A and B are shown apart, each in its own frame.
Chain A
Amino acid sequence: MIEDLERNTARRERRDALFAMVGLLATFVGMITLGALILDLAVDGVGRLSFNFFTSFPSRFADRAGILSAWVGTTAVMVVTAATAVPMGIAAGVYLEEYAPKNWITAIIEINIANLAGVPSIIYGLMALGLFVYQLGLGQSILTAGLTLALLILPIVIVATRESIRAIPNSIREAAYALGATKWRTIRDHVLPYSTGGILTGVIIALSRAIGETAPLITIGALTFIAFLPGSPITSEFPFISLDWLMSPFTVMPIQMFNWVSRPQQEFHLNAAATGLVLMVMTLCMNAVAIYFRYRFRKRIKW
């Protein structure tokens, strides 16, 4: 009887220990893939990484081709995206957390934001193609691309803003009110500064996602072969600032990579790997910075 029980316990503990191993292995499957991915890109692509690779336009000769127009395009699109999504997302987050009354409009907005986060990115591309490119006549431009990605990452920015605002205790707001501050002064001088860390983390993660987005930009008709740069934002004549670049056609790094990987020739695959490596380094760095911020701000602030 006792032996039976002991045997039973031993068997159950063995299974328990076995699962601990299986669990660790399962986690490693993800990590090994990540490692293999980076290694694969590095082995194929690192040979192509040179100064010329960053300063050359794409070319039909693989060894002369570079990603100049792609990284300039990515930067320009990201400027538009950040300039649109960050203020809008923070404003919407502040409204929902600090002002929104509990009524059906608020409920609909909240459900809607949750749903938007689940809409496939290519659908945003279709919407932008129909609305921005043709109905509003913005064309297949940097402006259209930036706005499209801004809409795509808006839910991420809103959710991040709300979460970090929610973490601020009410006593802080009440202290500000007690000193006669209005609601907006309280938000501007207290709520927003204290939640900057969390909001920044969310914004960086959102932008790192936007950098890698390919499908919606292909859908709005981004070109895959661009051998010129958009106009310079600074001009020699008055008023010294030009917005012509907003309407310029463009390509971005993921599209350039897609173009190269879709070609049958092996040499272009090496270019694709090098572009992928640059993309990976950029997104991983951004995520690492975001994780560091999250960790640091979580540690430093004790209410």
Chain B
Amino acid sequence: MASNPGKPETTYPSVRELSLQSDVAGLNLQKIRERIIEFSLFLAALSSIAITLGIVGILLYESEQFFTHVSIVEFLTDTEWTVLFANPRYGIMPLVTGTLVTSITALVVALPLGTIIAIYLSEYADHRLREILKPVLEMLSAVPTVVFGYFALLFLTPLLQKFLPALPGFNMLSAGIVIGIMIIPYISSLSEDAINAVPVTIREGSYAMGATRLQTALRVLIPSAFSGIASAYVLGFSRAVGETMIVAIAAGQQPNLTLNPMEGAATITTFIVQVSLGDLPHGSIAYQSIFAAGLMLMLMTLAFNIGGYFLRKKFREIYE
């Protein structure tokens, strides 16, 4: 904390010198020790930058090798992704559509539920109920994703097949719904924080005009807290885009250029898992292709995060 009082140990050296002459050397030693400790703590903090540099460096380095074999145009425009076949084609599009379809399905589930829960918890539920409901809800995001995958494949898919007999065993619908449920706590707790940050006076102003809690929530609180809520949505979406095990288990692992959630498809993350499970020689094009796919994933989440940042800036309401 920058505002801490300076260096107390040197504030009154004369007093110390008078009483404890020999302490002066000790003080210098102490000062050196303090410096060493501060520097090691600084290094620990700096390590987070090293992690980012490591991630970006490795992704760029391996992708660069990949793009010496495959042109970027082919990567972005080809409609087939058959890296492991005898005649490999390197079009990332099927993986991108798979990722988008599962993530959008997840948002269709999580967005309304998360928002309703946020309004309910902040405006309706009494204190005691909230203290119980919130931790239980947060447990949802603590469940290992591989367990969610099991649930999607062996519980939800058979259940959905009762209503949709045409649904195949591996499909994006069931995976997407389960991802959606998984990200509900992210969306609801961030939206709730945003709603709670709206000053009480604004809420009271609305009540004074005779508005009900629902009207206040929909017409006053949500517009006021929109920047925070929007960034909660974006964060949830970027979670869904990066989700791996649920789709790897429940959505099948076949690249499939489709926008229909009732079909199975591979996502970018599924492809990385699929290749990693096999025994690929280090340095082969297929090995490098997972880094190119990873780079694509990273750029997608980065784009959403930057988008969220600007949303937050643009719609931020500033209260005195």
- A interface list, Cβ under 8 A from B: 9, 12-13, 15-16, 19-20, 22-24, 26-27, 29-31, 33-34, 36-37, 40-41, 44, 87-89, 91-92, 94-102, 108-109, 112-113, 115-116, 118-127, 129-131, 134-135, 151, 154-155, 158, 170, 173-174, 177-178, 180-184, 205, 208-209, 211-215, 218-221, 224, 254, 257-258, 261-262, 269, 272-273, 276, 279-280, 283-284, 287, 291
Are A118 and B140 neighbours in the complex by a CB distance under 8 Å? no
Residues of B within 8 A of A112 (CB): 48-49, 52
B61 proximal to A (CB < 8 A): yes
B277 proximal to A (CB < 8 A): yes
Whole-angstrom distance between the alpha carbons of A213 and B148 in the complex?
12
Q: Nearest 9 pairs between A and B by C-beta?
A: A120-B242, A23-B120, A212-B144, A91-B44, A130-B58, A95-B41, A215-B244, A177-B8, A16-B212
Excluding A130-B62, A182-B9, 5 further A-B contacts by CB distance (< 8 Å) are A212-B145, A214-B144, A269-B154, A279-B144, A287-B142
Are A26 and B291 neighbours in the complex by a CB distance under 8 Å? no
Are A127 and B269 neighbours in the complex by a CB distance under 8 Å? no
B184 proximal to A (CB < 8 A): yes
Are A124 and B55 neighbours in the complex by a CB distance under 8 Å? yes
Which of B2, B44, B113, B217 contacts A92, CB < 8 Å?
A: B44
Could you jot down 26 A-B contacts, CB within 8 Å? A9-B210, A12-B215, A22-B116, A23-B121, A29-B181, A30-B113, A37-B147, A91-B45, A99-B41, A100-B45, A120-B269, A122-B242, A125-B276, A154-B51, A158-B48, A208-B142, A212-B147, A214-B146, A215-B248, A215-B269, A221-B276, A257-B146, A258-B245, A258-B248, A283-B144, A287-B138
Are B117 and A23 neighbours in the complex by a CB distance under 8 Å? yes
Closest beta carbon of chain B to A275's beta carbon, Å: 9
Whole-angstrom distance between the alpha carbons of A194 and B49 in the complex?
28
Are A273 and B46 neighbours in the complex by a CB distance under 8 Å? no
Which of A12, A224, A273 contacts B150, CB < 8 Å?
A: A273
Residues of A within 8 A of B100 (CB): none
Which of A27, A100, A115 contacts B117, CB < 8 Å?
A: A27
Residues of A within 8 A of B49 (CB): 108-109, 112
Which of B55, B135, B213 contacts A16, CB < 8 Å?
A: B213
Whole-angstrom distance between the alpha carbons of A29 and B233 in the complex?
19
Which of A158, A181, A276, A284 contacts B142, CB < 8 Å?
A: A284
Interface string of B10-41 (1 = CB under 8 A from A): 00000000000000000000100110011011
Which of A9, A118, A174 contacts B301, CB < 8 Å?
A: A118
Q: Nearest chain-A residue to B141 (Cβ)?
A: A209
Whole-angstrom distance between the alpha carbons of A154 and B52 in the complex?
12
Kindly identify, within residues 57 to 82 of chain B, every residue whose CB is under 8 Å from any CB belonging to chain A.
Answer: 58-59, 61-62
Are B136 and A26 neighbours in the complex by a CB distance under 8 Å? no
Residues of A within 8 A of B8 (CB): 177-178, 180-182
Are B241 and A280 neighbours in the complex by a CB distance under 8 Å? no
- B interface list, Cβ under 8 A from A: 1-5, 7-9, 30, 33-34, 37-38, 40-42, 44-49, 51-52, 54-55, 58-59, 61-62, 112-113, 116-117, 119-121, 124-125, 133, 135-140, 142-151, 153-155, 181, 184-185, 210, 212-215, 217, 235, 238, 241-245, 248-249, 269, 272-273, 276-277, 282, 290-291, 294, 297-298, 301, 305
Are A261 and B42 neighbours in the complex by a CB distance under 8 Å? no
Q: Nearest chain-B residue to A254 (Cβ)?
A: B146
Which of A44, A91, A131, A180 contacts B9, CB < 8 Å?
A: A180
Residues of B within 8 A of A115 (CB): 52, 305
Are A279 and B147 neighbours in the complex by a CB distance under 8 Å? yes
Q: Nearest chain-A residue to B278 (Cβ)?
A: A221
Are B44 and A88 neighbours in the complex by a CB distance under 8 Å? yes
Contact of A211 with B47 at beta-carbon distance under 8 Å, contacts A26-B113, A37-B151, A95-B41 already known: no
Closest beta carbon of chain A to B159's beta carbon, Å: 9
Are B41 and A261 neighbours in the complex by a CB distance under 8 Å? no
Are A127 and B59 neighbours in the complex by a CB distance under 8 Å? yes
Which of B3, B136, B249 contacts A31, CB < 8 Å?
A: B136
Residues of B within 8 A of A126 (CB): 55, 58-59, 272, 290-291, 294
Residues of B within 8 A of A124 (CB): 55
Residues of B within 8 A of A154 (CB): 47-48, 51
Most buried by A among B4, B142, B249: B142
Whole-angstrom distance between the alpha carbons of A135 and B283 in the complex?
12
Residues of B within 8 A of A15 (CB): 212, 214
Whole-angstrom distance between the alpha carbons of A97 and B238 in the complex?
28
Whole-angstrom distance between the alpha carbons of A258 and B273 in the complex?
11
Closest beta carbon of chain A to B309's beta carbon, Å: 10
Q: Nearest chain-A residue to B253 (Cβ)?
A: A262
Contact of A123 with B2 at beta-carbon distance under 8 Å, contacts A33-B140, A219-B272 already known: no
Are A130 and B61 neighbours in the complex by a CB distance under 8 Å? yes
Are A173 and B4 neighbours in the complex by a CB distance under 8 Å? yes
Residues of B within 8 A of A22 (CB): 116, 120
Whole-angstrom distance between the alpha carbons of A99 and B51 in the complex?
21
Most buried by B among A178, A213, A219, A273: A219
Contact of A92 with B136 at beta-carbon distance under 8 Å, contacts A37-B143, A101-B2 already known: no
Whole-angstrom distance between the alpha carbons of A274 and B118 in the complex?
34
Are A283 and B241 neighbours in the complex by a CB distance under 8 Å? no
Closest beta carbon of chain A to B247's beta carbon, Å: 10
